[in-house]
Amino acid sequence: MTDIQLLPDERIDQLYSQTVKIIQSSSVFAFSLDAVLLAMFAKASKSTKSLTVDLCAGNGAVGLFFAHKTNGQIVEVEIQPRLADMAKRSISLNHLESKMQVLNIDLADSLKYLHHDSIDTVLCNPPYFTDLPKSVKNPNQFLAIARHEIKTNLEMICKVTSQLLKTNGKIYMVHRPDRLLDIITTMQKFNLAPKQIQFVHSKKNKEANIVLIEAIKNGQQTGLRIIKPLIVYEDDGQYTSEVHEALYGKTK
């Protein structure tokens, strides 16, 4: 195995469904189920010439979990140097250096590094919460930036996505249902037409707490489909078959 140096607060976790290993730190950043579900929801081009960009990449989880789906290249964009470094080392840990790279930049500067209208697929697990003056934020700056729109926001993400994507290119985003109207309105403002929405519920009798969205650049603003909801837990607290397979690679 590649000799990867870990910092004192870091560990290596594994997504058993893919044998993907990823460097994590509870004091800096650790992926959640959202990242696994986004990678599962997103579709990929099989072309070896395709290019996927993972915006707000964090420690690289979504891109790493998506990598087996595409024969093309993946670029991860992350503004926090510590998280970008974790992503780079996780790429090396999984021997994916020929397929993936990390740009430690503000996503607003993406067009300085990536060509306009050149991207087939954008993935995004963005900060969920708006940065309001009275917002209660985590005192840990790493976690605050990951969760709140401090360094970027939905408007900038959709603007940059629209600039990057080819016509008919797609964005796949995971977010909170209470931001859905804002998400759809902002996507439409930047010529991104929502085409599929899937709500995720912790249990079948609970309100949705995650939403997955697919949108296409320059698509018609009609034909939106609300697909079958995804339930995470059975009544007995065990993962449902679909989620269990996403995490462990086999049904119960």
In a domain, 2, yes or no: no
Domain of residue 19: give its range: 11-248
Q: Is residue 83 part of a domain?
A: yes
Q: Which CATH number belongs to the domain containing residue 76 in this structure?
A: 3.40.50.150
In a domain, 85, yes or no: yes
What ranges make up the beta strands (E) of 105-160? Answer: 119-124
Confidence of residue 1 (pLDDT cuts 50, 70, 90): very low
Give φ, ψ of 216 to 5 degrees. -120, 140
Q: Which residues pair with 214 in a beta bridge?
A: 172, 196
pLDDT tens digits, 9-65: 999 999 999 999 999 998 888 899 999 999 999 999 888 999 999 999 999 999 999
Q: What is the mean pLDDT of residues 197-205?
A: 97
Instruction: Give 129-176 pLDDT, tens digit per residue.
Output: 676 666 665 666 766 676 766 789 999 999 999 999 999 999 999 999
pLDDT value of position 123? 98
Residue from 162, 153, 164 nearest 103 by CA: 164
CB 22 within 8 A of CB 92: no
Contact (Cβ atoms closer than 8 angstroms) between residue 21 and residue 90: yes
Q: Is residue 186 part of a domain?
A: yes
Is 6 contained in some domain? no
Q: Which two tokens stand for residue 162?
A: 């629209």
Is the per-residue pLDDT at 179 higher than 60? yes
pLDDT, residue 196, reads 98
**Region of residue 117 (phi > 0: left; psi between -120 and 50: alpha; otherwise: beta):** left
User: Residues 202, 232: contact at Cβ < 8 Å?
Assistant: yes
Percent of the chain with pLDDT over 90: 82
Q: Which sign does the torsion angle of CA 134, 136, 142, 146 carry? A: negative
Task: Name the phi and psi angles at 48, rounded to 5.
Answer: -70, -15
4 is a domain residue:
no
Indicate whether 1 belongs to any domain.
no
SS3 227: coil
Tally of domains in the chain = 1
Cα 228 → chain centroid: 20
Q: Which of 71-75, 114-118, 218-222 has the weakest average pLDDT?
A: 218-222
Mean of the per-residue pLDDT values for the chain? 92
Assess if residue 159 is contained within a domain.
Answer: yes
Which amino acid is residue 74, in one-letter code? I
